[in-house]
């Protein structure tokens, strides 16, 4: 599919992609809901710097003000507008999650494709290395790495990426094992194509669609991991408007200012929920068996 779209003229390929996106959204109410939530989160991340009010602008005369027309989501413990901080936090969370997934996909997929294609001792060594990372609980390992490197958002991104890449290695390797004996790969070998050529011209384009489905679900997991580590003090540090950091600052004010903790938590919940819906929908869309099974309760 990717190869076919890549060979088409750009306007025609764009129309094909747009049509496929509309068909996906129309196929299920949950697909539409997930797509809308993700679209709102992306728009908030893009529009964050355009807001007139700075997310770090303190107003000591408006400390812990409840929701009002001037501050729709209220203010925090130093008078900062929570709406501005929540919108600015979307840029941090989605940007960090995107970087985590990009690092994990690039490293893990190339490793898995290489292992599946070459086989033998290389495959065995790479899979044992992957098993080593699977031996530890993912969040505990990420927290240990972040604590070792030092509390910061950059170190949190590295720590979460380190525990995410093995999943892509396993996924890519399993796909390559089912592809490497296919006719087009055998024909490429008989034609004298080298391993690198087969890797990038035949394996990568066929593995990418499955990887893309996993990515859509893992962005939500990455956002949740970043916020959790920031809540523990290992990620973004105050006054950064990151959702986990905001909730960590608000936990001492829950009884007196419910809005301080509630709204960042709801935004985090809805964003992760939206990406999970999108990932489940794409998985069913790619797999015809799941699409047929879920057709009864779809639209």
Q: Please compute the mean of the pLDDT values over residues 166-191 and round it to a whole number.
A: 79
Residue 1, pLDDT score:
43
Range in 10-14, 66-70, 180-184, 195-199 the model is least confident about: 10-14
Distance of CA 55 to the CA centre of its chain: 24
Q: What is the pLDDT of residues 142-152, one digit of tens each?
A: 999 999 999 99
The reported pTM is: 0.82
**pLDDT(274) > 90:** yes
Q: Please compute the mean of the pLDDT values over residues 67-76 and round it to a whole number.
A: 92
Residue 148, pLDDT score:
94
Residue 6, pLDDT score:
43
Q: Which residue has the higher pLDDT, 245 or 191?
A: 245
**pLDDT(298) > 90:** no
- Residue 68: helix, strand or coil by DSSP? coil
Residue 178, pLDDT score:
79
**pLDDT(251) > 70:** yes
Output the 3-class SS for 2-57: HHHHHHCCHHHHHHHHHHHHHHHHHCCHHHHHHHHHHHHHHHHHHHHHHCCCCCCC
CA distances for 4 relative to 1, 84, 201, 206, angstroms = 5, 43, 13, 11
- For 278-295, b/e burial (b = at least 16 CB within 10 A) is bbbbbbbbeeeeebeebe
Neighbouring-strand partners of residue 81: 75
Residue 20, pLDDT score:
63
d(C-alpha 62, C-alpha 44), whole Å = 24
d(C-alpha 154, C-alpha 208), whole Å = 27
- Domains of the chain, by residue range, sit at 29-53+71-297
Residue 294, pLDDT score:
46
Residue 293, pLDDT score:
45
Residue 295, pLDDT score:
44
pLDDT band at 15 (very low <50, low <70, confident <90, very high): low
Residue 84, pLDDT score:
92
Neighbours of 205 (CB within 10 A): 14
* Residue percentage of the chain with pLDDT more than 90: 46
Q: What is the pLDDT of residues 79-88, one digit of tens each?
A: 999 999 999 9
Q: Which residue has the higher pLDDT, 10 or 228?
A: 228
- Residue 292: helix, strand or coil by DSSP? helix
pLDDT band at 2 (very low <50, low <70, confident <90, very high): very low
Residue 27, pLDDT score:
74
Q: Which residue has the higher pLDDT, 287 or 29?
A: 29
Q: Please compute the mean of the pLDDT values over residues 166-179 and round it to a whole number.
A: 86
pLDDT band at 155 (very low <50, low <70, confident <90, very high): very high
The CATH code of the domain at 29-53+71-297 is 1.10.3720.10
Q: What is the pLDDT of residues 113-142, one digit of tens each?
A: 888 878 889 889 999 999 999 988 999 999
**pLDDT(292) > 50:** no
């Amino acid at each position: 599919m990717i190869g076919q779209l890549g060979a088409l003229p750009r306007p025609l390929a764009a129309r094909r992609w747009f049509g496929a996106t509309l068909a996906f959204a129309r196929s299920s109410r949950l697909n539409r809901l997930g797509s809308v939530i993700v679209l709102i989160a992306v728009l908030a991340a893009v529009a964050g710097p355009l807001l007139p009010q700075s997310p770090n602008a303190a107003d000591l005369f408006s400390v812990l003000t409840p929701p009002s027309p001037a501050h729709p989501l209220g203010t925090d413990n130093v008078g900062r507008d929570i709406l501005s901080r929540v919108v600015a936090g979307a840029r941090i969370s989605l940007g960090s999650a995107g970087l985590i997934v990009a690092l994990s996909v690039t490293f893990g997929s190339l490793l898995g494709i290489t292992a599946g294609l070459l086989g033998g001792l290389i495959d065995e060594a790479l899979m044992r290395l992957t098993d080593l990372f699977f031996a530890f609980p993912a969040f505990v390992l990420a927290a240990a790495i972040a604590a070792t490197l030092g509390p910061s958002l950059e170190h949190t991104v590295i720590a979460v990426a380190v525990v995410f890449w093995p999943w892509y290695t396993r996924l890519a390797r399993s796909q390559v094992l089912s592809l490497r004996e296919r006719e087009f790969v055998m024909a490429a070998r008989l034609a004298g194509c080298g391993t690198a050529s087969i890797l990038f011209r035949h394996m990568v384009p066929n593995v990418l669609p499955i990887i893309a489905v996993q990515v859509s679900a893992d962005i939500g997991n990455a956002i949740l991991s970043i916020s959790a580590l920031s809540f523990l003090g290992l990620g973004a540090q105050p006054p950064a408007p990151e959702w986990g950091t905001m909730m960590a600052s608000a936990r001492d004010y829950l009884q007196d200012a419910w809005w301080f903790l509630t709204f960042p938590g709801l935004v985090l919940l809805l964003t992760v929920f939206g990406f999970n819906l999108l990932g489940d929908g794409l998985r069913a869309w790619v797999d015809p068996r799941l699409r047929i099974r879920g057709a009864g309760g779809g639209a």
